[in-house]
Each structure stands twice: as C-alpha cells, then as structure tokens.
Structure 1
Amino acid sequence: MPELSIRFRDWEEPAGRLPMGDAGAHHRVGLTSRHLLRDGRPWIPVSGEIHYSRVPRERWRERLVLMRSGGIDVVSTYLIWIHHEPVQGQARFDGDLDVAEFVRLCAELDLHVVLRLGPWVHGETRNGGFPDWVQQAPVRHRTDDPGYLELVSAWFQRLGKELAGLCGPDSPVIGLQLENELYTEPGHLLTLKRLAREAGLSAPIWTATAWGGADLPAHEVFPLWAGYGDGFWVDAADGWAPNFRAHFFFSHEWDDPGVGADVRDLQALEQTSTASEPGVSGFPPATCELGGGMASTYHRRIVPAAEDIAAVANAKLGSGSMWQGYYMYAGGLNPAGIGPVQESHATGYPNDLPVSDYDFHAAIGAAGLPSRAHAALRRQHAFLQAFGSDLADMPSVLPEQQPHGLGDVQTLRWALRSDGRSGFVFINWHQPHVPLPTRRNVHLSAELAENVINLGPFDVPPATIARWPIGLSLNGIQLRSATASALTALTDGTLVLVAEAGIDVVVDADAEQSAEGDVLRLTAQDRSATVIVIAAADADRVWVLDDRLVVLSEHPVWCDGGRIFVEADRAPRLEILRADGRRVPALSALAEAERARAVQVSQTREFGPPLASYGSFGGRASAPSPESIAQQAGVFELEDVGEPVAGTRRLLEIEWAGDVAQLCVDDEVVADRFWDGTPWTVDLDTVPGASGAQVSLRILALHPEADVWLDVAALDRRRAEIEPLAALDAVTLSRLTTWSASLSELG
C-alpha cells in the first residue's frame, strides 16, 4: 500500500473569548472561539445525558458515580415538563422529580451540569414534553405567541424557584439549553433566554441544537451538533442512510440534517421563518449529542454495537470536536402514575415507543449495568482527562488522500490533531452494516512543523479505533510515535497505552529501550521514562478513576468519599496498576456473594395468534394496544424472585423472543419492552411489590409478516421460524453486592 501522508496546519485565526453567556457569571468555566476553559486551562468536556425523572431517586448516586468512573465530567438532563406538571397548576418537585436535589448531588460529586430547559424537549416523550393541557392550548406553540409565552413564563418561574439559588459563580450549572431542534425561530430563542433570566436562571454558557440547518441568533447561543451511527427515525424498509454513514468518517462538516427529520414537519405546521444571520460561526465545534445508544421504536429496533458508538465518538474527536457529549449515557424508565408519557402514534408522532422502557441501549442501561460501550468510551474519556488540555489547542487536519465518497471501503480513515510539535494520530476503521477489509502494509507519514513522523508498515484490521501519540515528551525523552492508543499518564509521568487488537505495538523513541513484560523502560543519558502497555485482551477491563488510578476489573468500579467500590454477584477480582507495571490485587479477601440462579417459571396461558399488523401511522407499523397484549400474550408466572435485602440489588434477566413483553406485579403492568434480540434486565428492587411469587411475564408473539426492522442476530432468529416467533428462553435472578475499601489502604 502506498504511503498515506498528512501535513500539519496551524489555526487560521487567533483565539478570542466569547462572552455569550452571563458575563462574569462563573468562576471556573469560560468559552473561547477554539475551546472551553476550566480553571483557566483549555478543557474538552465529556457530557453524558441522564434524566433524573426517569431514574429512581435511590439510584441517582450510583448512576452518577458510575458515569464519573466512565470519564463523564458534565451531566446533561432534560427538564421534562409533562413529568412535573401533568395537571395545570399542580407542578411537583418531590421524590424522583426533585431536580434541585439532583443538581446538589452532582455538585457533591464534582460533576458539572447542563440543564436542558426546553420547554419542548422531544426526548421521545408525549407531545415532545408538553403536558396535554399545554399541547391542547389554542396557541402557536414554540413561537412568540403571547398566549404560549404566558404558559412558558409560568413554567420557567416555577423552575426558577427550584433552581435559581443553584445558579451563580460557584454553581455546578455551567450550561442552559434553550428549546431543542428548533429550526426557524431565532427570535423565539432570544425570548426564551430572556424569560429564563427573568426567572433567575443563569449560566456561563447558553446552548441550542444547531443540526438540521437551524437558524440560531448570532453570538447568543453555543451551537451543538449531533452524530448518530443509526437511528429509529427512518422507515423500517430504509437502509443505512448516508447521514448515518458519514459519522464514521473524519470530516470538518458538523451538521446532520437527518436527526429529528421525522418530527420536523410537525413543528413546521405552526412555525414561520423569521430568518436572521445564522449563529453557528465563530464557535468551537461541540458534538454534544453523540449516540450513546439508540431507543427501540416499534417499527425499527436498532442494537448498536459498542464499536459503533466508540467509532463515531472517535471520529468526532479526531475531526476537532471540543466537546464530547452522549445521548443517552444512562438509560431509564418513564415515570408511572401519570398516564402514558411516551412518544406514540396516538399523539400524532411518527414513532411508537414502549410505555415505560427507555433503556436506550445506553452505556449504562436502565437497570444500572454498564455495557461494553461503557468500556469502549471510558478509554477515550481517560485519554481526554490526561491529554485533553493539550488536545484542545491542537487543530484537526485531514490527510491528502481522502475517501472517495461514503461507499469507499478501501481508503484508510485517519486524521491528525497536532500543535506542530506533538499530537495524536486518529484511526477509525470500523462501521456497521457494511464490512471493512483488513488494510495491509499501511505506511503513515505525518509532517509536523519541524520534523516528519513515519509509522509502519502495519496491518489495520476491522474494528480498529485508535489514538496514537506522536512527538510526546516523556520526562525530556522524545517519544516519536507509538502504535497503541494513549490511555492516560500516571501522576509520576508514566505513559499508559492500550494495544490495538491485531496490531503489534512499536514504540519509537530517542532512547534506549528495555522491556519487561508490559513495561518498557526508556533511558537517555541522565533521563528515564516508563511506558506501560495494556494488552488488547484486557482493554475492556480497564478503568481510570480519580487521581489517575488505573484499575482492572470486569465488574463496575467507582470512587466515592475516599473509598473504592465494586459491585458484583460474586467476590470480585480487582487489580491496581502501579507505575512499575505491577498489578496489585485489591479487595481479595472477600466472602462469596449469592450466585445468580435460574428462576422457575410456569406457563399459565398459551401464546395467542398475533396479527401481522396492529395498524399504522405515516406508513410505520403501530404497536399493539394494551388490550391486544392482554388478550393474546402468553403468560408466565415467576415462582420466586426473592425479597429485597439491604446492601444488595436484585436484577432479573429475561431472555426471550417475540414482539412485546410486559412485566407484571399482581397482574398490573410495571414495565415493558420491544424485542430486539437482546436480554431484558430489570432492577427488581425499584419495582414496588416485586417479590416472592407476585411477578408474572406476558409475551406477545411476533407475526412472520409484521413490518418491523430487526438487527442481524434477531433477524436470523426470526427467519429461522416459519410460525409466529414466541419463546421464553431463560429467567435468571442475580443479587449484586457492593464491596468497598479505603483508597488509603490500597497504598
């Protein structure tokens, strides 16, 4: 393969401060035309979306500390109006709706907060988050109609009573988002900003979504971009759309006109354009809504792989993103007791979603378990924690040999971020649906300001998602290059790399090298440096916690209050990686936990014949009604799901096949799920009454001709059946225990 080359190019314009928020409103956070600042230093934030109103309050802390252990330092959350005020004048902010307490908890955990105020938020909620009484009001919604502004002003004033005291110079609230996916009303965004300020809400950064060619008020809001590798908002029969494919390439184009396109016509009915100068220039690129998973709609049930999610994030970072944010990072469940609050055909939306399930296949699922995506992303986030301040001052450069369109599966996808002396080579050789071949005998050449870095030859296998350091100074020793991804730098300067599967690790440095196991010693005259290489086989076990503590664990790990915690259904194996390369066992003398056990089930009603169609809306299949499920579903009684025990969590894992499933307690539906080929996990200790023999399961069969899109694994199983697909394969109960130890005791 011929040499692929790239040439460093410096910033075209000098950096300037952007006082687009509340001038002088925050002691820690600021914004320039190149990047954000935290404590006066360049900063690339990593934000993760979690909806406090979709997570039980007793689970907030464990979700947040797990997000933080995944490298999240900014929490973003919608304030979903319909959750708080389904009845006009009876807004609630207690229990799971206590947003002020949620913000205080974030502050306690040293997490910044972006509050996405709306009032229209989408979020796959009924009416886009409007309560029915707002949706039905005789006003022009999402405009400066006086009647609509009167409703919004009252809501913002109510939010101000809860949150104004938490805004200000030392607040964890660093950002306020106005509206969501509003394309033609820049003047209305300014009005919302004024109303929020009048309610006492303030932040150093005001944001708005910019995708879809949104017309934003110039210099008043920070434009945010999105990037999803696939989406439920296309029809079941549609293939992999170009706007999804594009996110697996390095590019300096940030807009994605496909996000939210299926609901754009709904707002167009009520809006008229009041065009002004587009307010998207002069700001650093911020990809604050990268797909951290994907929701399942009835007609299209996507299961993104961990590599899909990590590849899109890596592509944006290599392309110059200055803010990495994910929607969703932690999934949840819609609140019960206020009627259906999900997006549905019944409310005029093009998609039917489950009544309760909002797992989103997120990095942290609705039951609080991290997925493989959490592992893939936290390696990128550890990299940003260690090197983000330097990376923020490095412009992105694309190679001279660019792919020939989105169908090109031969030209290597790579990019450079550099300050002219050092930097990082980004490689992205993964995409779903269309396989990529192994690229053989690759040579890369990066021309910096004063020298040229050559890498190769090497082969690049599929699923390579890499960030290779070049030109780094390690204690005065020049590391010219390394063919392994930078993970972190320990407090003593030790560089930690993670190997790529199928690529030999080659370290090129101006020093003598001696290797012992995973440790490489570099020596030159009176200087020395250490490089630790973690094998690709261990990559998913790596966690970088507070103070650059590197831990290897297959179970969830986090730090809180000077202690390290691990949650598992058996005595966990936890290793601390030391600067000398030793792996020191920790938490090794622990009692065995209760092992996962099979739950005995008895089928009390056979599967009824399903329909090929339960109706449609806009050409998309509609979900079966509750009555259809109640009449036609097979019913299974779970004989014993145990009882709550202090200090543990009961997780119920259901492996099944069919169309729709419902979990019931005393015959009342408490949770539901559309089948997509993946197990369904439920945190039983957050379900009232879910104990003993009170729990049952309903499964509706999937008709062979039902017009629903399934991912490969589920589609294969469906095609293997001639009759309607319906099965309960296994039900397993796990009891997770949390162990902890003092960080000071670990030495």
Structure 2
Amino acid sequence: MQLQAMTMQAMAAQVIGVDASAPAANPVTGHLQLGAATTPRGSVLGANNRYLTLDGQPWMPVMGEFHYSRSPAATWEAELAKMKAAGITVVASYVIWNHHEPKDGAFDWQGDRDLRRFVQLCGKLGLKAIVRVGPWVHGEVRYGGIPDWVVDGMRTRGDDPQYLRHVARLYREIGAQLKGSLWKDGGPVIGLQLENEYNLNGPGEGAGHIATLKKLALRAGMDVPFYTVTGWDGAQYPSGQVTPVFGGYVDEPWAVSTTELPPKETYAFRFDSRVSGDLGAQTKSHGPGTAESDIDKTPFLGAEYGAGLPFMYRRRPVVSPDDIASMLPVQLGSGVNLMGYYMFHGGRNPVGATTLEESSISGGYNDTPAINYDFQAPLGPDGQQRPVLGYLRPFHYFIAGFGNRLAPMTVRKPDVTPSGPADLRTPRVAVRSNGDSAFVFVNNHVRQYPMPAQSLQFDVKLVGGTVRFPRRAVDVPDGAYAIWPVNFDLDGTRLRHATAQPVARLDAGTDGITYVFAATEGIPVELALEADSATIDTPAPRSMQDGATIADVTPGTSRALTIRRAGATPVHLLVLPAAQARQLVIGEVAGQRYLVLSGQQAWFEGGKLHLRSVGDAAMRFAVYPALSRAPKADHALRARGADGVFQAYEATLPAVRLTATATPLREARPAPAVMKGGLAKAAIQPIPEAWRTAATWRIDVQRDALKHVDDALLQVDFTGDIGRLFDGTRLADDWYYSGYGWQAGLKALALKHELSLAVLPLRADAPVYIAKEARPDFGAQTQIARVNKVSLTPVYKLTITP
C-alpha cells in the first residue's frame, strides 16, 4: 500500500509555474579583451557577458575534442567530416608538448603530429578550431604533457625564468605551425586555451602566470579572437584577459570510491553557479576562483562536458547513451551557450622513450591504459560510431538551427526546484526566455538512480501573457528528457507550444520549408499553432483551444502538417519518432542541404555521402529532398520508393567472412594483491613485474582480412584485470576490463608480427570499481583471467554520389 501511495503521489498532476515576464538585461560588452577578431573578408567574432557573436548575431557553437596526435594522420579528414556530420562546428585539440619535443630542442611536427595539416583540414571542411596550447594539459598524459627533461630539470607551471624560456620556444613553434591559419588570416583557428585546470596561487603563479602565458602566445604570433582557461576547481586567471570555460562528467573515474556515487550534480539545473561538481583537477584550490567573481562578466561557455568517460584503474564506470545525452537539456537549460565536449573522438597514445600515459608510477593522480584512449567517445579510436552519437545529434542540429534564438535567452527558475542533486522526487525543469518566446527544459534521468514518473503541465508567464501547456498533464517517464518550444516562430506562424523538440529548418526550394521535430520517447506529440489567416493541412486529429489549432501528431516520415499562406512558401512540419531522429544525419552536397535517415554510420565528405556498416553488408538510406537524378555508388543501388517524404535506397555489398582464433600459450599464475598508494591513496595499477603472472594467448587473424573491406575490428571479449595486445614485442593496444567491449581496428594495429594477448588476472579482492552488471562471479575462485571470445568483424563502406 505504501508503494502504491508513493506511485500515485508521484503521478499526481503538477503545474510547474515559471515567471519569465521580467525583461532581460541588455548584454554588456567591453570587459573581455579579445584578440584579432576580423577576417580579411570582414567576418567578425565577438563576445559579451552572455553569449558569443558572429557578424553581430548571436552565435552558439558545438565544440568537440579530437586529439590529432592520438589518431592516424591518414584518417583525419574522414574523422573530421564525421564530426561535422554529427553537428560539431568547432574542433578543439590539445597540443601535447611531450608528443612534439621528447628531447630538448628536437621538435617533431610530422605525420601524426602535423598540427598545421590538422588545422588546415578543419578549415577545408568548414570547421573552426580552438587549439589548447598548454603547456600543461593533463589529458591523462604523462606529467600532464610536459616532457620528462623539463620536469626533471626545472620548476614548472609558474613564472620560473628557465621554464618560461622553454615555454616561449614551444609557443613559437606552435605559432609557426598555425601561421596563416588564424582567424585574422581567414583561417579556422578562433581561439587558444592557456594551461589547464590551473588553480595554483603561490609566488610566480596564479593569475599573473596566465597573463604571462598570454603575452608569450601573442609574441609567438598567436593573435586570435578568444583566449580561454578552464574555470572549475578554484581556477585562477586575470579577469578580462581570458574567458573561463566549464564542464561536467556523469561519473568520476578519478574518484576513490569502489561503489556507485551519489546522484551527480551534472543532472541538476544550476541557477546560480556554473561549476558542475568535481572535474578531477590535479591540484587543490584553497578558496573561490576567479570564475565565481566573473559570473556576471563572461558568457557561460562549455569545453569539457564528458561525451563519454575514461577508464581509470581504480574506477571503471560504463555509461549509457541516455546518461550522456540527458546532460544536454540540463546544461542548455542552465545557460550554457557553447556546448563543448571532451572527448568527442577517441584515440591511442603514441609511444616514445616511455609510454606516455598518466600513471601513479610517474607521479600522476590516476592510472590509465598505456595506449588506449577510447573514452567511450561518440566516435571511437578507429572511427566507429557509438550509439551515443545518435542520441546527441538531434541536440546539435537544434543548436545549429536555432542557437541564435536560444543564446540571448535568459535562464528562468521555476517556482519549485529540487533541494539538491540527491532530491529525486521534485521535477527538474528550467526555462530560457527572451521577450515572448521560450524553451522549456525537462530532465527525468539520473544515472544509476530510478526517477519517479512525473505528470506535468507548465505555466510559462511571458511578456505577452501566460502559456499553459499541454492541454492535459503529460506523463514524463523515468529516463525521459526534453527541450520543448513556447511561442516558436515557423516562418511567420506562431507555434504556441509543442511537446516535441525542434531539430532543424530545411529550405527545399519549390518543395517548401520543412521544420524537423523529434518526438520525446514515451510522450505524445501535441502541436498548438496560431494559424491566423493560414490554412493548416494535417491528417492528425485536431481541435481548437484559445484561438489555436491543436494537432495530436503521430510521429513518422510523412508530413505532420503543412501551413499555407497566400503568396508565401508552404511550411511543412516533420515529426520523427525518437528512434528515427537518432538515425538522422544532415549534410550538404552542391549547395543543397539534405536529410538522410540511415541505420548505418553516415557522413558527407568530398561532395559525397558515405555509409559505414559494422558486420552487416546490407545498407539502407533514405534522403529528402528528392534527388534530381538517380544517385551513383561504388556498389549497385536499388531504389525502394518512397518512405514518407523520403526516397529510399538499398545496397548489398559482397559479404565477407573473417575469422580470428585464440590459442592458449600460458596459464595465469597467482597475481599479487592490488596495492594501494599514490597521490590518491587508493588502488594503483600493478607494477610491471606483476605481468609475469598473466595468462597469454596467440591471436590468429586472416592476413588478407582488409582485402575486400574498409577495415576489420578485432573484438576481444575477456574477463580479467588488464588486457594487452602485442604485435611481436610491440605493445599495440591495451584495455581495462569493465564490461564495455574492446575493439581494435586492424588498420590502426598495422600488424607486422605475430599477435598475442596477455591478460592479467583480476583478483576477487581487488579494491576497484566495476559496475555490478559486469562484476564477474568468482564463486570459489580467488582470481579470473580468461578469454571468452575473439572475433574479427568486417567493416563495409558505401560511397554515394547524389
């Protein structure tokens, strides 16, 4: 009876009131000291205390981190094109010092370290770039990226004269690489990040050191519009000279807990702050940072919202697509005006005189894999699309299409808000508004914690009056999250409200203008239009309420409704089901934007549409608007007629069967107890000598596996502590067991010798966090080291010329 009462209480209809009628203060300029912000063609970047601007208009980018020196140079262009297709508009990348100057004065800017070529490719693809120049970057790199010879020989991260001489030389080298590619030259580089997670405040440190780094960057020729610093964990910087950026992660792999964490602040709307919990800074602050006193002077910009999470030895959380995507309504609803991710593309560490990962042995706070930097990112180290990417794309397209409306909007606090991140019963809602328009942000997802279903209506009081919607309270189930518009302009027609998210606006010429919406999982779609003199054509059931036409729309690939006005271009609304919205890719060919629906990984590059399929030789895509001629492809295409407003096509590539086998070579021996210690005083990665206890297998793969496919993914399903793949004696890849699948592309492995696998046993008493779903059942065993299966999966690619 008590549980039934709680359920009924949770489902009782609640009206969430939000007073958004007060006028927003005008943006303030002049505080931020921007660099050269005008291109030779006169395009201008700017910033005020609330948002960024491009050519005087509000501008809201989406930024994704991709480390060029952790990825093969031959793949950069395609991987950047995939990021663009995912809605990324700005690419961020660390310049990792010890990847470039392993020895004093011996700089390497070739091959996978060719920064110049990387930023030029960003420009070629129409992407902007922010270069994070360090010198200390963290990035789970040995010594935070500072070379051994610097760490061994001088005082770092401050105004020590010897250190600054080497930093100045590094900056001159970076400046030479970026010459001609800066925004002022017509290039893609719009900003620099100085240092990282900097909260030191002793002699020669603090804000003065950041000011020194900016001067050195300018002397090196790096004059760009924006200079940023990370603003969390008590950051210290010179106010006005740089702009703080923020972030948040849905778990803390750097934490010492071996159990689930309390509900993360990342899922709670913030109305008075910008720091979303612990972000794992390596140094500790002793008071509030500059970002706290700057909150009314700088826009709320993000740089490190985790699009995934790394695995660290003592803590290995696996995240779901909903865990990540549900952050977006929360961050946008809290006022973020630049959604920046770390990482958006995974990679692998190069190897120098040592391996270059962060480790306790080298004095780091964390232990990370020596090679693998997968990060559970939307794009994996081998370019594979992870499910989370499809969940993020509709939000990115929303920002691209309507960010100029959202950016000037002010955050409005509801009448009732949760008491804190651990309050799982009070509805989580925020509103951003500007004049008579608004967006409502709802989140009912908290990682690893069930949320009660909420029966909600909204009373949004705007300048022109109060909008209550929907007609009847809507049941928001556990796990749901959404962005819904209020008084949204559809090219002259007001959409009073919708319980679906705007995604994009597409001008299809004579076919009219199409607004694409995405339904919210488990919530019926209600559209309310103030049609005035327009005619609304819709197959959906409709009614009238307070002068608005209410349409109850069934999502699908057919038009939900069409608005017609005399002498005006027709306006169509397309409402895709949530699952189909996750298959939507938007790109441009020959000046025409297209909507593409495909269950395969899809992107546009070189004026062509590319599809990539893992394991399935059959591919399908549907495109809108209709192609003017039959498309060509490198394999036979079959037209499959209309799918709603889309044209559908199929192709079946020659299927390839690939094999991989694992042959035992050595059984495991009893592994030593996991030691505790290091800076975290927690479990640390076993010392190298512990590997003598590992079990080993010979891995045999087809040597001609890549002959007829784009790539082949070696999938290693093992249970143990750590797995390592060796090409002969070369460590080619490694993995911490977590329950998350380990894949390695044969192209990246570049095998030259016999492939082998070593698995260090996982002890039953190991004080490490592994999610309960993946924690092995040890039974009477004291340790486990086994290979469950190895397989080789073909990756097919289809290239279509529209």
TM score, norm. by length of structure 1 = 0.93
Q: Secondary structure at the match of 2:763?
A: coil
Task: Quote the Cα distance in structure 2 between the aligned partners of 1:197 and 1:323.
Answer: 24
**CA-to-aligned-CA distance 1:482-517 (integer Å, 9 cap, x gap):** 111111112143221111111111111124452276
Letter in 2 for 1:733: L
Alpha-carbon spacing, 1:402–1:276, altered in 2? closer, same or farther (3 Å): closer
Give the one of 517, 520, 528 matched to 2:560: 520
Task: Quote the Cα distance in structure 2 between the aligned partners of 1:283 and 1:478.
Answer: 32
Alpha-carbon spacing, 1:14–1:111, altered in 2? closer, same or farther (3 Å): closer
Q: Secondary structure at the match of 1:134?
A: helix
How far 1:70 moved relative to its partner? 0.7
**CA-to-aligned-CA distance 1:598-622 (integer Å, 9 cap, x gap):** 4222222223322331453242212
- The aligned runs of 1:381-400 (5 Å cut-off) are 381-400=396-415
Task: Quote the Cα distance in structure 1 between the aligned partners of 2:312 and 2:586.
Answer: 35
Give the one of 575, 590, 600 matched to 1:533: 575
User: Equivalent residue for 1:83?
Assistant: 99
**CA-to-aligned-CA distance 1:288-322 (integer Å, 9 cap, x gap):** 11011111111001112111111222211111111
**1:144 lines up with 2:168 in the alignment:** no
User: Equivalent residue for 1:468?
Assistant: 484
Task: Quote the Cα distance in structure 1 between the aligned partners of 2:743 and 2:703.
Answer: 13
Task: Quote the Cα distance in structure 2 between the aligned partners of 1:118 and 1:245.
Answer: 28
Q: Secondary structure at the match of 1:736?
A: strand
Give structure 1 stretches of 5+ with no counterpart: none
Cα RMSD after superposing both structures:
2.5
Give the one of 31, 41, 61 matched to 2:77: 61
User: Equivalent residue for 2:621?
Assistant: 574
**CA-to-aligned-CA distance 1:426-458 (integer Å, 9 cap, x gap):** 11111112211211x321111111122222311
User: Equivalent residue for 2:374?
Assistant: 359
**CA-to-aligned-CA distance 1:642-661 (integer Å, 9 cap, x gap):** 44337611211122211100
Whether the 8 Å CA contact 1:567–1:736 is kept in 2: the answer is: yes
User: Equivalent residue for 1:551?
Assistant: 596
Give the one of 47, 50, 57 matched to 2:66: 50
Give the one of 444, 448, 455 matched to 1:429: 444
- The aligned runs of 1:38-437 (5 Å cut-off) are 38-139=54-155, 141-169=156-184, 170-183=186-199, 184=201, 185-237=206-258, 239-241=260-262, 244-256=264-276, 258-261=278-281, 263-265=282-284, 279=294, 281-437=296-452
Task: Quote the Cα distance in structure 2 between the aligned partners of 1:718 and 1:317.
Answer: 41
Task: Quote the Cα distance in structure 2 between the aligned partners of 1:274 and 1:415.
Answer: 26
Whether the 8 Å CA contact 1:483–1:507 is kept in 2: the answer is: yes
Task: Quote the Cα distance in structure 2 between the aligned partners of 1:34 and 1:626.
Answer: 51
Give the one of 677, 695, 703 matched to 1:616: 677
Task: Quote the Cα distance in structure 2 between the aligned partners of 1:241 and 1:374.
Answer: 26
- The aligned runs of 1:717-728 (5 Å cut-off) are 717-718=776-777, 722-728=781-787
- The aligned runs of 1:428-447 (5 Å cut-off) are 428-439=443-454, 441-447=455-461
How far 1:525 moved relative to its partner? 6.6
Q: Secondary structure at the match of 1:519?
A: coil
Whether the 8 Å CA contact 1:186–1:276 is kept in 2: the answer is: no
Alpha-carbon spacing, 1:192–1:729, altered in 2? closer, same or farther (3 Å): same
Task: Quote the Cα distance in structure 1 between the aligned partners of 2:335 and 2:291.
Answer: 27
Whether the 8 Å CA contact 2:234–2:289 is kept in 1: the answer is: no
User: Equivalent residue for 2:545?
Assistant: none
Task: Quote the Cα distance in structure 2 between the aligned partners of 1:69 and 1:538.
Answer: 16
Letter in 1 for 2:774: A
Give the one of 16, 22, 30 matched to 2:29: 16
Alpha-carbon spacing, 1:151–1:14, altered in 2? closer, same or farther (3 Å): closer
Task: Quote the Cα distance in structure 2 between the aligned partners of 1:40 and 1:276.
Answer: 25
How far 1:87 moved relative to its partner? 1.0
Task: Quote the Cα distance in structure 1 between the aligned partners of 2:387 and 2:686.
Answer: 32
Task: Quote the Cα distance in structure 1 between the aligned partners of 2:275 and 2:564.
Answer: 48
Alpha-carbon spacing, 1:39–1:586, altered in 2? closer, same or farther (3 Å): farther
Task: Quote the Cα distance in structure 1 between the aligned partners of 2:386 and 2:779.
Answer: 28
Alpha-carbon spacing, 1:275–1:736, altered in 2? closer, same or farther (3 Å): closer
User: Equivalent residue for 1:504?
Assistant: 524
Whether the 8 Å CA contact 2:309–2:319 is kept in 1: the answer is: yes
Q: Secondary structure at the match of 1:201?
A: coil
How far 1:585 moved relative to its partner? 4.2
Give structure 2 stretches of 5+ with no counterpart: 1-12, 541-555, 627-641
Letter in 1 for 2:110: D
Q: Structure 1 stretch 373-382 or stretch 18-27: which is displaced more?
A: 18-27
**CA-to-aligned-CA distance 1:111-159 (integer Å, 9 cap, x gap):** 10000010001001111110001111232x1111112111211211222
Letter in 2 for 1:600: T
Alpha-carbon spacing, 1:363–1:89, altered in 2? closer, same or farther (3 Å): same
Letter in 2 for 1:616: G
**CA-to-aligned-CA distance 1:553-607 (integer Å, 9 cap, x gap):** 121111122211111241311111449983534552x342434644222222223
Give the one of 439, 458, 462 matched to 2:474: 458
Task: Quote the Cα distance in structure 1 between the aligned partners of 2:442 and 2:333.
Answer: 8
**CA-to-aligned-CA distance 1:43-98 (integer Å, 9 cap, x gap):** 11100001000001111112111111110000000000011111111110001000
Q: Structure 1 stretch 675-684 or stretch 600-609: which is displaced more?
A: 600-609
Task: Quote the Cα distance in structure 2 between the aligned partners of 1:613 and 1:19.
Answer: 50
How far 1:40 moved relative to its partner? 3.0
Letter in 1 for 2:257: A
**1:565 lines up with 2:607 in the alignment:** no
Task: Quote the Cα distance in structure 2 between the aligned partners of 1:68 and 1:468.
Answer: 25
Task: Quote the Cα distance in structure 2 between the aligned partners of 1:507 and 1:720.
Answer: 56
**1:732 lines up with 2:791 in the alignment:** yes
Q: Secondary structure at the match of 1:96?
A: helix
How far 1:257 moved relative to its partner? 5.6
Letter in 1 for 2:763: H
Alpha-carbon spacing, 1:643–1:595, altered in 2? closer, same or farther (3 Å): closer
Q: Secondary structure at the match of 2:582?
A: helix
Give the one of 13, 18, 37 matched to 1:6: 18
How far 1:217 moved relative to its partner? 0.5
Letter in 2 for 1:505: V
Alpha-carbon spacing, 1:120–1:741, altered in 2? closer, same or farther (3 Å): same
Task: Quote the Cα distance in structure 2 between the aligned partners of 1:360 and 1:407.
Answer: 26
Q: Secondary structure at the match of 2:179?
A: helix
Q: Secondary structure at the match of 1:390?
A: helix
Letter in 1 for 2:538: S
Letter in 2 for 1:335: P
Whether the 8 Å CA contact 2:133–2:194 is kept in 1: the answer is: yes
Q: Structure 1 stretch 76-85 or stretch 463-472: which is displaced more?
A: 463-472
Letter in 1 for 2:598: S
How far 1:476 moved relative to its partner? 2.6
Q: Secondary structure at the match of 1:60?
A: helix
Alpha-carbon spacing, 1:276–1:677, altered in 2? closer, same or farther (3 Å): closer
Task: Quote the Cα distance in structure 1 between the aligned partners of 2:611 and 2:414.
Answer: 43
Whether the 8 Å CA contact 1:635–1:696 is kept in 2: the answer is: yes
Task: Quote the Cα distance in structure 2 between the aligned partners of 1:355 and 1:577.
Answer: 45
Q: Structure 1 stretch 404-413 or stretch 231-240: which is displaced more?
A: 231-240
Task: Quote the Cα distance in structure 2 between the aligned partners of 1:77 and 1:673.
Answer: 23
Q: Secondary structure at the match of 1:224?
A: strand
